[in-house]
Structure 1
């Protein structure tokens, strides 16, 4: 199975669920985007890694992992988002120590937060991108969303919150045609978090 390289396009704050964010991954050699709903703590950690000028006074969990790995000469070589089941992305970290590679399972949000700290590339399989990738119509006026990082970094009371299954909106009552219409509407409104959830519901029904 061929791998597709991804880059981080940005983080979008959820307008419908307090403390939830959508991480937008961009296909390097294409126009598809892969939205992944993440929690506030992971969003904060990724945002800080993206903003090189920001250094927390004490190491965050992902910074601690990086310091620990550096001390014992462990390097993360790459991240692979290798599976999508019921709307949940599964990822692996390819690590190396003394020229010996090991594969470690990780939540996708954690894996990406660490990939930024190790300057490791992010990949997914072509079939996952074909199943879960969407074409987002961006508004050039909104391309520079510096306020996104402000949203992530200005709400410390939300950091550490974890998403629960009962917090997710249910789209089980809608037909496939209705879901596709809702997906297009969410994309046009740049509601990435909603688009990701609708996309996940469609992927459950379509082979």
Structure 2
């Protein structure tokens, strides 16, 4: 078992130490006796209330897949560690400008965004279609710009500019100024990584 799987299994046990009824009230979660349900970047997940394991499905759980590390760790952090009175500020900030951040993988000039921008270059139509499939709301600026639901209670904005003769392709993600009330900074990396992965999946879907 990889270190990632070990950490994910450890967190599934840790999840069971928390008050699930409080989670349900806090985030208005769909639930039943066996599971809590949550949407994360356009995909429905359920958390087993006995084991803490997380799976996702596109067909109301007639079939299901285990959540990967980025998916699971983001969901666990939000449900277990978000501040008691977390709330959106409804103010967009560049992800690299969060007040507690000093550099790191999500800084403005990091390879994380440069590499992602290269993957989208020359594919603005496909990128826009992927955002539409994720029920994004189009914003009237930039080559591609959409407001997307990370969670139903926490939105993000994806902005992309094609390369030209002077500048390389550029990708930006704007987040709510209060995002760190919902998750740790390290978890933001997992969440944004998953967001871009989901966009990539939708771009490839026929």
Same fold (TM over 0.5): no
* More relative contact order, 1 or 2 (CA 8 Å, 6+ apart): 1
Tell me the TM-score range normalised by the shorter chain. Answer: under 0.3
Higher fraction of strand: 1
